[in-house]
Amino acid sequence: MNVAVVDLGMGNLRSVERALERAAADAGIACSIRITGAPDEIAKADKIVVPGQGAFRDCAAALEAGVGDALREAIARGRPYLGICLGLQALFDASDEAPGARGLGVFAGRSVRLEVAPGVKVPHTGWNRIALARAGAGPLGVFDGDPPFVYFVHSYHVVPGDASLVAATAEHGPNRITAAVQRDHVTATQFHPEKSQRAGLRLLEAFLGT
């Protein structure tokens, strides 16, 4: 099995690669994991992981350089997709962070800035327990019955046009954060599995094993 970790020119690619390698080893899953920004390699991958940490406008620019078309086509063909942080936000139409910049448009919706309140800091950084919106949500099903604490670093989160996409939420002051979305073969998290210790590895194992 070939797994493409998509390079959008930003973020913690090596950390994600190492976490996937550890998850595969722990689960006894044989796979080749490769960091790539080449559309042809993305198109040939059996599974796709899209991490990203940084500005939405930079992410959108990378998508316009051919990577976006490769990702849309792969998702349309049913290739399993795991988005992390910006890799979640990129699935939607746009972000208030970067007016005019376009996401993949796989799902309707946009990213909005978290609300600041007394004692509530933005960016939202650190550990937070998620709440599952529904059971059996693809790889996120490993958390059914025991939603874990996971690690977040973000100032924006997605508001989907279709609320049924939301698979998990988290509370941060007045904000109910879209912590994860899932539909069919597409799963994406606002939190960082590669920074979430054993809980994150469990999710990555489930994604690789599906």
CATH of the domain at 161: 3.40.50.880
Domain that holds residue 143: 2-209
Alpha carbons 159 and 177: distance in angstroms, whole number: 9
β-pairing verdict for 175-183 and 166-172: antiparallel
9 pLDDT above the threshold of 90: no
State how many domains the chain has. 1
Q: pLDDT band for position 104 (50/70/90)?
A: very high
Question: What pLDDT is stored for residue 109 in this prediction?
Answer: 98
Determine phi and psi for 10, rounding to 5 degrees. Answer: -155, 155
Q: Which amino acids are annotated catalytic?
A: 85, 192, 194
C-beta neighbour count of 9 within 10 angstroms? 14
Alpha carbons 170 and 153: distance in angstroms, whole number: 13
Model pTM? 0.97
Average pLDDT score over the chain: 96
Question: What pLDDT is stored for residue 12 in this prediction?
Answer: 80
11 pLDDT above the threshold of 80: no
- Angstrom CA distances, 180 to 26, 32, 85, 103, stand at 24, 26, 9, 17
Dihedral (Cα; 196, 201, 206, 207), 10-degree rounding:
70
Q: Tokens 């509530």 belong to which residue? A: 120
Which amino acid appears at position 147 of this protein?
A: P
* Token representation of residue 113: 């800035």
Q: pLDDT band for position 15 (50/70/90)?
A: very high
